[in-house]
Amino acid sequence: MKLLVLGGSDFVGRAFAEEALSLGHDVTVFNRGTRAAPAGARALRGDRSAPGGLAAIQRGEWDVVVDTWSSAPSAVRDAANLLAGRAEHYVYVSSRSVHPYPTAAGADESAPVVEASPDDGGDVDYVHAKAGGELAAVAAFGDRALLARPGLILGPYENIGRLPWWLSRIARGGTVPAPGSPGLGLQYIDARDLALWCLDAAGRGLGGAYNTVSVPEFTTMGELLETCVRVTGSDAELRWIDAGTVLAAGVQQWTDLPIWAVDEGHETMHQGDASKAVAAGLRCRPVEETVADTWTWLTGIGGQAPPRPGRPPVGLTPEAEAKLLSL
């Protein structure tokens, strides 16, 4: 296939570009050029948020366009409208966050979505940006638009810092506060599995919304953190602390202790219905592979994940950790 990735140099977009290249596809990436394009990809430059920023993709034809945009929906609208007559399929990487919070356990793609506009060009929060982006993709491509709705995304190049924080902290050794129960089920997807499924689905002409995430209970909090200990070769000791104690100490689920969520947060992030995507061929690699490959990438760049612009850092501060361990 001839593939155009809008982005393609960072985390999910890079996973799409690299996986497509590994499959022998012809890959073009379009971005501002702040990071080098994957080896083997053709690079086009432009800032889609600036006037005239799409000039580099005004010509050309592609089988599949991949768009991971998560800011103003009008940028998705403009790109999709420009490409609708010159591309067969449009993959918009959206999010399960398009559903109002909290989302009930077992919710599938038919659950209500927040009200949004494809024409919003202002400062839009993540939820409404993704919901508006979906509307923009469908308005331009109709049933040729594939709306991938992952939840938690992990893997190499992760620039949010969730799994990298756990790996870095555990690698330092010592006593590490582990929240809640080790048996707490987790649901996520490796960015590479997301890319592989979307590329295959687009090639088969699938359209509409799919919850592109593992099945609930794919792994557990205990398995994830114990895998981090093994992979890093650390002498870290996981000290499991009751969820109520963790929250009473002022520690925030999801942000202070990344990936971990309880109550309605857990139902929303870790208990969605992924059966439609699984029936359409979605397969997820073992947690050991995701953790090991993320650690290999992280150590290769000096052990510190690059921050994502506009996103606050995640993870406990040393002071908060010491307080929690003293309880």
Backbone φ and ψ for 156, nearest 5 degrees, come out as: -55, 150
CB atoms within 10 A of CB 310: 8
- The per-residue pLDDT for range 281-294, each reduced to its tens digit, is 999 999 999 999 99
172 and 320 within one domain = yes
pLDDT tens digit sequence for 184-202: 999 999 999 999 999 999 9
Residue 208 is assigned to a structural domain of this protein: no
Same domain as 175, residue 137: no
Question: Which 8-state DSSP code applies to residue 175?
Answer: E
Residues 179 and 317 grouped into a single domain:
yes
The pLDDT > 90 percentage for the chain reads 95
Task: Please report the pLDDT score of residue 306 as a whole number.
Answer: 78
Q: Identify the band that residue 307 occupies on the pLDDT scale cut at 50, 70 and 90.
A: confident
Compute the radius of gyration of the chain from its Cα atoms: 20
319: CATH? 3.90.25.10
Residue that terminates a domain, selected from 149, 178, 201: 149
Average pLDDT, the chain: 97
How many domains does one find in the chain?
A: 2
Over pLDDT 70: what percentage of the chain? 100
Residue that the structure tokens 């490409």 belong to: 83
Tell whether 80 and 126 lie within a shared domain.
yes
Question: Is residue 108 a part of any domain in this protein?
Answer: yes
In a domain, residue 35? The reply is yes
Q: Are residues 174 and 295 in the same domain?
A: yes
- Residue 213 falls inside a structural domain: no
Q: Parallel, antiparallel, or unpaired: how do β-strands 208-210 and 145-148 relate? A: parallel
Dihedral, CA of residue 4, residue 23, residue 138 and residue 6, to nearest 10: -30
- Asked if residue 263 belongs to a domain, the reply is yes
CATH code where residue 138 lies:
3.40.50.720
In a domain, 136, yes or no: yes
Range of the domain at 229: 159-186+218-270+286-325
For residues 252 and 114, membership in a common domain is answered with no
DSSP label at residue 96 = G
Residues 143, 163 within the same domain: no
Average pLDDT of the residues in 63-81: 97
| pLDDT tens digits along 111-159 | 999 999 999 998 899 999 999 999 999 999 999 999 999 999 999 999 9
Q: Do 224 and 306 sit in the same domain of this protein?
A: yes
- Residue 102: cis peptide before it, omega within 30 degrees of 0: yes
Mean pLDDT of 63-71: 97
The per-residue pLDDT for 203 is: 97
258 shares a domain with 222? yes
In this structure, are 61 and 178 located in the same domain? no
Mean pLDDT of 3-27: 97
Helix (H) or strand (E) holding 204, with range, is none
Residue 277 lies in a domain: no
pLDDT band at residue 311, thresholds of 50, 70 and 90?
confident
* 171 and 83 assigned to the same domain: no
Predicted pLDDT at 50: 94
Predicted confidence band of residue 304 (pLDDT cuts 50, 70, 90):
confident
Q: In the chain, which residue ranges form alpha helices assigned H by DSSP?
A: 11-22, 73-83, 126-141, 162-171, 191-203, 221-232, 243-248, 263-270, 275-279, 287-300, 318-325
What is the model's pLDDT at position 234?
97
As a three-state string, the secondary structure of 8-63 is: CCCHHHHHHHHHHHHCCCEEEEEECCCCCCCCCCEEEECCCCCCCCCHHHCCCCEE
| pLDDT tens-digit map of 233-289 | 999 999 999 999 999 999 999 999 999 999 999 999 999 999 999 999 999 999 999
68 & 177 share domain: no
8 A C-beta contact, residue 12 and residue 19: no
pLDDT at 309: 76
Structural domain contains residue 200: no
Cβ contact 210:284 at 8 Å:
no
Structure tokens at 26: 């012809």
C-alpha count within 13 angstroms, C-beta hemisphere, residue 291 = 22
Q: What is the Cα–Cα distance from 245 to 255, expressed in whole angstroms?
A: 16
| The last residue of a domain, from among 125, 149, 173 | 149
